[in-house]
Amino acid sequence: MADIPETMTAIGIATPGGPDVLRPETRPVPRPGAGQILVAIAAAGVNRPDVLQRQGGYTPPPGASDIPGLEFAGTVVARGEGARRYAIGQQVCALVPGGGYAEFAVVDESNALPLPNGFSLAEAGAVPETYFTVWTNVFQRGRLQAGESFLVHGGSSGIGTTAIQLARAFGATVLATAGSEEKCRACRELGADHAINYRTEDFVAAARAATGGRGVDLILDMVGGDYIDRNYEAAADQGRIVQIAFLNGPKTTANFSRLMLKRLTHTGSTLRPRTIAEKAAIAVELHEKVWPLLEAGRCRPQIHATFPLAQAAEAHRLMESSAHIGKIVLTV
Ligand SMILES: NC(=O)c1ccc[n+]([C@@H]2O[C@H](COP(=O)([O-])OP(=O)(O)OC[C@H]3O[C@@H](n4cnc5c(N)ncnc54)[C@H](OP(=O)(O)O)[C@@H]3O)[C@@H](O)[C@H]2O)c1
């Protein structure tokens, strides 16, 4: 590790608060442990959970770096004991429970994937968090099948833009909700068959109309709040609802009799605290089933904006404005 510096620039959270608490700091360069690789980061994706962490609402799981950032792409510069999957100099992208907003990070080699052919580092750095999340929630938990209908709320989000493309690529009829006509247009361009502006249309009525009155087979929901009751209404008999966040709050009043009468399944999951082995199992499926789609150009991260690492605060301001469509990326 002769050429690797002792220290690096990383973005710290000075104290919980607004975007300005994100400040460049000097930190030691982490050293790769057994099975880990050290990556010189070129690009790190920004995700809504980073905003929550900055505000003090999403503590890193035990053992994770306190530096924000759940994904990155870069070049392998060192390997820990037993790490042999990637060569020094190889470009990878990776999922981490923290540490992405930095010049270097370590990751278990099983939670890294090779850069998809034809991808820039900025594009690859915007892949892991949403692709791991959508794969495990839509295809593993939600069991989406070709020919089914699928509704994603927040269709223009990083998660939504990924879910639309993947669901479409796997043969579902895709419905998406979004908060403006511009966002709805973007959802349609990405492959949504129906984009519903939830500010001007009732998504329950629109979803039922789009499915010939049947309702939707699978709903991926990040909104929660009153959407919980409305999702039960929008779902088809035996429909599934997978909860990945509660942007409108985790508590609500709902008519649970619909769960019973329609034989619905309501489940959910969160990716960050899952074990390295569980994330590795998702990575294996992504490599086998999704990497060919990325490399064939059938799915692509939508990069809305990039900011230099030192301007992480600006990136968070943009994310909180919700003006973006797709992903925001920090470049190192
Ligand atoms: N469970 C997991 O494992 C997991 C993993 C990753 C992310 N997540 C969650 O997934 C969600 C999306 O993440 P992301 O990084 O893709 O976010 P993002 O790009 O910032 O998008 C969030 C979008 O949600 C829409 N939205 C709807 N209701 C909202 C509300 N009450 N407050 C703010 N935005 C609202 C906004 O668009 P409109 O203009 O259409 O309203 C906004 O642009 C986040 O809640 C995140 O915490 C969960």
- The predicted-structure confidence for 118-127, as pLDDT tens digits, reads as follows 999 999 999 9
Ligand 1 pocket, residue 328 CB under 6 Å: no
Ligand 1 pocket, residue 248 CB under 6 Å: yes
Top mutation candidate among 47, 188, 324 for ligand 1, by most atoms within 8 Å of CB: 47
Half-sphere exposure of 255 (CA within 13 A, CB side): 10
Mean pLDDT of the 301-312 span: 98
Q: Give 237-296 pLDDT, tens digit per residue.
A: 999 999 999 999 999 999 999 999 999 999 999 999 999 999 999 999 999 999 999 999
pLDDT band at 1 (very low <50, low <70, confident <90, very high): low
Q: What are phi and psi of 103, to 5 degrees?
A: -80, -25
Ligand 1, atom 21: closest residue by C-alpha = 157
CB 269 within 8 A of CB 136: yes
**Please, what is the Cα angle at 257 between 251 and 259, to 5 degrees?**
80
pLDDT at 314 over 80: yes
Ligand 1 pocket, residue 319 CB under 6 Å: yes
User: Could you identify the atom of ligand 1 that is nearest to the CA of residue 153?
Assistant: 27
Q: Which residue has the tokens 């759940």?
A: 70
pLDDT band at 139 (very low <50, low <70, confident <90, very high): very high
Ligand 1, atom 33: closest residue by C-alpha = 247
Cα separation, 28 vs 332, in Å, equals 16
Alpha carbon 120 to its chain centroid, in Å, reads 18
Question: From ligand 1's centre to the CA of 187, what distance in Å?
Answer: 15
For the chain, percent of residues with pLDDT exceeding 90: 98
Ligand 1 pocket, residue 326 CB under 6 Å: no
pLDDT at 45 over 80: yes
Return the C-alpha torsion angle 122, 124, 125, 127, nearest 10. 130
Cα separation, 69 vs 87, in Å, equals 24
Ligand 1 pocket, residue 140 CB under 6 Å: no
Ligand 1 pocket, residue 97 CB under 6 Å: no
pLDDT at 114 over 90: yes
Tokens of 264: 């619905």
Ligand 1 pocket, residue 183 CB under 6 Å: yes
Top mutation candidate among 46, 48, 129 for ligand 1, by most atoms within 8 Å of CB: 48
Q: Which pLDDT score, from 0 to 100, does residue 3 have? A: 85
Q: Which pLDDT score, from 0 to 100, does residue 2 have? A: 59
Q: Which pLDDT score, from 0 to 100, does residue 49 have? A: 97
Mean pLDDT of the 130-149 span: 98
What is the rounded average pLDDT for all residues in the chain?
97
Tokens of 191: 């492959």
Ligand 1 pocket, residue 247 CB under 6 Å: yes
Ligand 1 pocket, residue 245 CB under 6 Å: yes
